[in-house]
Amino acid sequence: MAFDLDMIQHVYAQLGERVEAARQAVGKPLTLSEKILYTHLSSGPATEAFERGKAYVDFAPDRVAMQDATAQMALLQFMQAGRPQVAVPSTVHCDHLIQAEVGATADLATANSKNKEVYDFLSSISNKYGIGFWKPGAGIIHQVVIENYAFPGGMMIGTDSHTPNAGGLGMIAIGVGGADACDVMAGLAWELKMPKLIGVKLTGKLSGWASAKDVILRVAGILTVKGGTGCIVEYFGDGAESLSATGKGTICNMGAEIGATTSIFTYDEKMADYLRATSRADIADAADAVKQHLRADDEVYADPASYYDQLIEIDLNTLEPHINGPFTPDLAWPLSNFAKAVKENNWPEKLDVGLIGSCTNSSYEDMTRAASIAAQAATKNLKAKSEYTVTPGSELVRFTAQRDGLLTTFESIGGVVLANACGPCIGQWARHMDDPTRKNSIITSFNRNFAKRNDGNASTHAFVASPEIVTAMAIAGDITFNPMTDTLTNEAGEQVMLDEPQGIEQPVNGYAVDDAGYQAPAEDGSTVQIAVSPTSDRLQLLESFPVWEGTDLSGLKLLIKAKGKCTTDHISMAGPWLKFRGHLDNISNNMLIGAVNFYTEKTNAVKNQLTGEYGEVPAVQRAYKAAGIGSVVVGDENYGEGSSREHAAMEPRFLGVRAILVRSFARIHETNLKKQGMLALTFANPADYDKVQEDDTIDIKGLTTFAPGQQLTVVLHHADGSTDEFPVNHTYNQGQIEWFKAGSALNLIKMQVQA
Ligand code: SF4
């Protein structure tokens, strides 16, 4: 079977001893996160305490998961590392490249033919290096992981920012770039700054329309998109114990929307139930035997404020359903205030499309709760007024939902069941629209709602809510509808209300699946060939980035001063570009095309200082590269928030950008930049951002004495002959400085393998 009981038993066998060593080292009772972190130190049992938010620590994760868009680059990098097999259990999941257009069967067939070259590459490279391969249509990475691989007390990394979904089963699961995955698969330690801890105490019990989704929508409203940065969010309390494991997964999944390193729940009966329901009773038994180590120490629960860096309390008894958006997932509206907000902000009231599912909300429980609303359309003589799509998270859920009649219920209100894949969530959506630039509203049960994310239309107002709220809204066709208080006019002209949703946590007749879509790797992959055509426009073997020249940098041109939000979607757009994820040269043509130029307020138009003309960002950068001139990208707060894709770091590196200088970074992106040998710098004084001018030539000084904790200096040479000079900060430790000097972390691995 897909999971690895031996590995888990090995982790549990040493858990007690390692937890005790950690308790001694830290010198006080431990939170759950600390127990898992300290029992996964690559150096063995803890001998010292690591300061939260400061110390860089080497870990040994138990597992790696990769989705198909990020796996290409991760595995192209792994090929370069020269190792015969992956060092830890690893999997690849084909979920991001399937475009939603007409429905599951046809869309999957199209994807199989369009992406054949990529799927063949991933399948053969998985086969060769001992990696489990989940075929297109098998499901979305995080749902497949929670169904098969996540286990309480474990640690995994995944090349996708919603990897924390596995926290629903009590695992520390962290989204990383492909370069980190490559390190761990190569058997190297994985480095992370010891996270701070945010405790969320949940009391009471959800009822009525409120669901697990509303917990995280509320938390996002409290903490905002930056509030979890550098932190693990640890949930506990009697309220937490009342939530299903998959509901917990939803909450952990969307921890990515507050920038959290990951989120996790204490091991409890609900997790054991889910493990047993998904054919993992032996893991539940093993976890039960060590369950005192799969929760924080009692002293922590008795006085949480003394052990967490920040504490939030939420009473589930009074939690209202929430709708978050548009354009950012932290704009949280309690349902009772939402209609007013829609009217005051002039957001389109008509709902064009309701979309349920995705990795965030496609458990069996989610499907049953949404179906309980959809079923009322027939019994109450209502017709759904909006388009409605359903994305099952895995073939296990889809097959079971079909068997139990849930999909038929969705189809009865016009629902279109899409492939078990990311689809509209990642912009893989061939949306049928009269005018693709029209201002309109959609509501999804997904996690992320940045402008253009779902359909590429900046005027699409995307809101996020639970699947049952989405379904109610799709029936109403109007986002000002409040199903808790409002009536709908049915086909007979009567006023009717929707009853509260009813969910079933685990299917009464058990889960079922015909073909889950899993391919086990070859026992001996040494003779397996991996073909990459030199003429391919989808895949390209990598060449090493150049090593640092050993001097300070001077004469760099300002490429762009990005204004406001600059997410990884702005830096390396998804949607149509996904198909080039394995071809660095081609995908680099999307570099920063979504970033807003501070000087012109336009996207993808920057001044080429060599000609004085405005051009597209990648073209201007290629001109600098051709002229042998480096450049600098300047950005604002939380630069690189969003996803873990290292392309957002590799593209500027490949095209010759030398430094990214911003007010602040999102964690994963900052690490990715360091891995690729790029300088990731922050203004020591955020107001110095204002000193940067459009025609600046830039020097970076202090590199010959580059050291942890020591500022560098930036000199701006303005067009009028004046200069500005100011200090900039960095967070490089000594090991990361070696990456910079070697040209990239991968260059350093190669040197070590060859040594
Ligand atoms: Fe796929 Fe969306 Fe989940 Fe990312 S968040 S894994 S794109 S379904």
Residue of the CA atom closest to atom 1 of ligand 1: 422
Q: How far is the CA of 422 from the centre of ligand 1 (A)?
A: 5
Q: Which atom of ligand 1 is nearest to the CA of 358?
A: 8
pLDDT at 179: 84
Give domain limits for the chain: 5-317, 320-496, 553-754
State which of 68, 254, 426 you would mutate to test the pocket of ligand 1, scoring each by most atoms of that ligand within 8 A of its C-beta: 426
Q: Is the distance from CB of 375 to CB of 384 less than 8 angstroms?
A: no
- Using 70 as the pLDDT threshold, list the residues of the chain that sit under it: 1-3
Å from CA of 424 to ligand 1 middle: 9
Q: Please say whether the beta carbons of 181 and 67 come within 8 A.
A: no
Q: State residue 575's pLDDT score.
A: 76
94 lines ligand 1 (CB under 6 A): no
Asked, colleague to colleague, whether 5-317 and 553-754 share their fold, the answer is no
Query: If you measure from the C-alpha of residue 518 to the centroid of ligand 1, how many angstroms do you get, rounded to a whole number?
Result: 19
Phi, psi for residue 245 in degrees, rounded to 5 = -60, -40
CB of residue 257 inside a 6 A radius of ligand 1? no
Q: Which two tokens stand for residue 491?
A: 């086909």
Orientation of helix 745-754 relative to helix 667-675, angle to 10° = 50
Per-residue model confidence as pLDDT tens digits over 714-732:
999 999 999 999 999 999 9
Q: Decide whether any atom of ligand 1 lies within 6 Å of the 426 Cβ.
A: yes
User: 715 pairs with which residues across the strands?
Assistant: 699, 725
Please tell me the distance between residue 165's alpha carbon and the centre of ligand 1 in angstroms: 11
Task: Identify the residue whose C-alpha is closest to ligand 1 atom 7.
Answer: 426
Inter-residue contact 123 to 518 (CB < 8 Å): no
State the closest ligand 1 atom to the C-alpha of 425, by its place in the atom list counted from 1: 2
Among the four given CATH numbers 3.40.50.720, 3.30.499.10, 3.20.10.10, 3.20.19.10, the one describing domain 553-754: 3.20.19.10
Q: Which CATH number fits domain 5-317: 3.30.499.10, 3.40.1800.10, 3.40.50.700, 3.20.20.80?
A: 3.30.499.10
Residues 6+ apart with CB under 8 A from 520: 132
Determine the 3-state secondary structure of 543 from DSSP. coil
341-358 pLDDT, tens digit per residue, is 999 999 999 999 999 999
Burial class (CB in 10 A: 0-12, 13-18, 19+), 418: buried
What is the model's pLDDT at position 3? Answer: 52
Rounded to 10 deg, the angle between the 116-129 and 68-81 helix axes is 50
* pLDDT tens digits, one per residue of 279-302: 999 999 999 999 999 999 999 999
* C-beta of 678 in contact with ligand 1 (< 6 A): no
Active site residues: 95-96, 160, 448, 643, 645
Give the Cα separation of 481 and 497 in Å (integer): 11
373 lines ligand 1 (CB under 6 A): no
Q: Which CATH superfamily is domain 320-496 in?
A: Aconitase, domain 3 (3.30.499.10)
Residue of 659, 604, 603 lying closest to 631 (CA atoms):
659
What distance lies between CA 343 and its chain's CA centroid?
32
Q: What percent of the chain has pLDDT over 90?
A: 91
Tell me the pTM.
0.87
Ligand 1 atom nearest the C-alpha of 95 is 1
Q: Is the CB of 696 under 6 A from ligand 1?
A: no
CA distance 246 to 267: 13
For residue 291 and ligand 1, the question of a CB distance below 6 A is answered with no
Instruction: Determine the distance separating the centroid of ligand 1 and the alpha carbon of 140, expressed in angstroms.
Output: 7
In this structure, the residue with its CA closest to atom 3 of ligand 1 is 359
Distance CA 321, CA 174 (A): 27
Ligand 1 atom closest to Cα of residue 447: 5
CB atoms within 10 A of CB 84: 10
Q: What is the pLDDT of residue 2?
A: 43
Mean pLDDT across the chain = 96
Output the six-digit token pair for 629: 């001139």
User: What's the CA gap between 719 and 721, in Å, rounded?
Assistant: 5
Counting atoms of ligand 1 from 1, which one is nearest the CA of 141? 6
**Phi and psi of 715, rounded to 5°?**
-115, 125
Ligand 1 pocket test: pick from 91, 95, 99, 429 the residue with the most ligand atoms within 8 Å of its Cβ: 95
Q: How far is CA 751 from CA 188, 368, 372, 746, in A?
A: 13, 53, 58, 9
